[in-house]
Chain A
Amino acid sequence: MRIQIRAHFALPIALLFMPFLIQAKDSKPSGDLKTEIKEYIFHHLEDAYDFSLFSYTKDNGDHKYIGMPLPVILWDNGLQIFSSSKLQHGEGVAQVGSNFYKLDHGKIFKTNALGVINLDAGKQVTNEAPLDFSVTKGVFSMLLIAFLMFFLFNRLAKSYLKNGGVPTGIGRFFEPIIIYLRDEIAKPNIGERKYRSYMSFLLTVFFFIWFLNMLGLTPLGVNVTGNIAVTFGLAITTFIITNLTGTKDYWLHIFDPLGGSMKWYSKIFLYIILIPIEILGIFIKPFSLLIRLYANMQAGHIVIMSLIGLMFIFKSWIGSSLSFGLTFAIAIIELLVAFLQAYIFTMLSALYFGFAAQEHESH
């Protein structure tokens, strides 16, 4: 059993290093290695228009990318859909109909036929940027996880019917987590009476974040939960649910936090300060959710990739193996962080729902 567990851990971690190793080995030693690594890391942290597994530079200086292209969807006076392979990783101009697009630092801009990117004095691109609804690497990963989740949990749900209320297979692993979320997160924070209506969100958000975090640790090198747009989307869902399900007591607590304990004329001075704070609190709560998840995942990716980069900077037997050991240890910690961040997001969401659903018996 123990050996099996070790193998389970070792395999993804070994795979994790593979693309970077190949990348680093095949990259030309041209230029400064440190800045190259830095650029590579920041490139990785950003979303991408194609799903590349790894890339290398040929002897003649050409970049070679291994991966698959994804559809680019732009709104530019009408829907423009084309394959991301046309963008040539920013090295060429994509011609779609009569429009020309060029990828510059991870963003698509409209250009002329030559693909000229105009910069202003502050080095900001002045080209027109069309509305971008592309199925990027992140979107693709989310779709992948969504299908995986649907497949997994739908199968678990069906296995109950077939097997007389007892889960089978992988469901045996997920069922205790579902029950834990219900009994340790939803029930104590929201309350026995109202927790049911929030369960779907809590379960989905937990597994969605957890699976995406885990996917981020695989050699696919996706960084979805470390993207501010994604965490913003998750947090705004929590925000909307919290305020849509808010009870009278919840709003009273915001606009009349002192209640009947004081006369109105003495409250009014306090409320000039208190009410803005309470209103600010409504927004700060989900904002903390989005920043926490984003920062943790982003930081994890930066740390792991920097440590991997160290191996190539040291280029010595001791230093490189030392940073390999360190990377290994951090990767294991990241496994924990992946779970922890999903847990914290779910836990705090449940807590905010609990505030919204309060019925003023306690307090």
Chain B
Amino acid sequence: MEKLISEFSLGLFFWQTLIFVGLIFLLKKYAWKPILSAVNEREASIKDALEAAKEARSEMESLQSDNQRILKEARAQKEALLKEARTIRSEMINTAKVEAQSEANKILSQAQEAIQNEKRTAVNELKDHVSSIALDIATKVLQNELESKDKQMQLVSKLLQNSDMK
């Protein structure tokens, strides 16, 4: 201990303290502060960048899942639309068929009716015609038959003969 104290150099202590304390303040201003702030800044920026990347990834993931969902929905919608179209088509065909059938039936029945009517009028006309011809013929025949008194007598007797008096 005595040796240590005798070894102790006040001058060296003085210079050491002066240099060291001076160095602390000098380095604080010109080195440590800018270094530490630069390091901190860099660390903060790295942290930010990492966070941003994470966020972007999660966003992308959500976007992707969104896309997937939208695609799925679209597909389902397409399916539904197609299905609907198919049912509508078949329905339309069916109704068209039924309608056509009924229309056809209607037309057919109308045609039949018209044919019946035509037939009836034709028959009636024919009847009229025939009856008038028959009358004409009958008239002419009668005129011929009844030209002479004999013939008139003959007929009357014949008629009388035919109608047996009972």
Contact = CB atoms under 8 A, between A and B. Distances in A.
Interface string B1-18: 000100111111111110
A188 interface: no
A229 B10 contact: yes
Contact of A234 (B8, B16, B27): B16
Given A157-B34, A182-B36, A143 B11 contact: no
Interface in A155-171: 156-158, 160-161, 165-166
Residue of A143, A154, A201, A233 most packed against chain B (CB within 10 A): A233
Question: By DSSP majority rule, is chain B's interface helix, strand, loop, or mixed?
Answer: helix
A142 interface: yes
20 contacts: A138-B16, A139-B11, A142-B15, A142-B19, A149-B27, A160-B38, A161-B38, A165-B45, A166-B42, A178-B35, A178-B36, A182-B36, A204-B27, A204-B32, A227-B9, A229-B12, A230-B16, A232-B13, A233-B17, A234-B16
Interface stretch (A23-31, A95-103, A127-135, A259-267): A127-135
B31 A234 contact: no
Contacts of A150: 23, 26-27, 30-31
B4 A199 contact: no
Given A153-B31, A153-B32, A179-B39, A229 B16 contact: yes
Interface in B76-95: none
B21 interface: yes
A172 to B, nearest CB: 13
B42 A233 contact: no
B30 A157 contact: yes
A228 B8 contact: yes
- 4 closest A-B pairs by beta carbon, nearest first, are A153-B31, A160-B38, A233-B16, A157-B34
A33 interface: no
A203 B23 contact: no
Contacts of A47: 9, 12
Interface of B: 4, 7-17, 19-28, 30-36, 38-39, 41-42, 45
Interface in A309-348: none
Contacts of A196: 36
A200 B24 contact: yes
A47 to B, nearest CB: 6
Contacts of A161: 34, 38
A73 B10 CA distance: 12
B65 to A, nearest CB: 36
B11 A234 contact: no
A204 B16 contact: no
Nearest to A179: B39
Contacts of B15: 133, 135-136, 138-139, 142
Given A133-B15, A142-B16, A227-B9, A154 B30 contact: yes
Interface of A: 46-47, 73, 131-136, 138-139, 142-143, 146, 149-150, 153-154, 156-158, 160-161, 165-166, 175, 178-179, 182, 196, 199-201, 203-205, 208, 227-230, 232-234, 236-237
B31 A154 contact: yes
A156 B17 contact: no
B99 to A, nearest CB: 82
B158 to A, nearest CB: 150
Contacts of A200: 24-25, 27-28, 32-33
A234 B20 contact: yes
Residue of A135, A160, A200, A205 most packed against chain B (CB within 10 A): A200
B31 A156 contact: yes
B60 to A, nearest CB: 28
Contacts of B17: 233, 236-237
Given A135-B15, A139-B12, A157 B31 contact: yes
Contact of A204 (B7, B24, B45): B24
A167 B45 CA distance: 15
Residue of B4, B11, B13, B38 most packed against chain A (CB within 10 A): B11
B157 to A, nearest CB: 155
B34 to A, nearest CB: 4
A78 to B, nearest CB: 16
Nearest to B28: A200
Contacts of B33: 157, 200
B32 A203 contact: yes
Residue of B13, B14, B16, B41 most packed against chain A (CB within 10 A): B16
A156 to B, nearest CB: 6
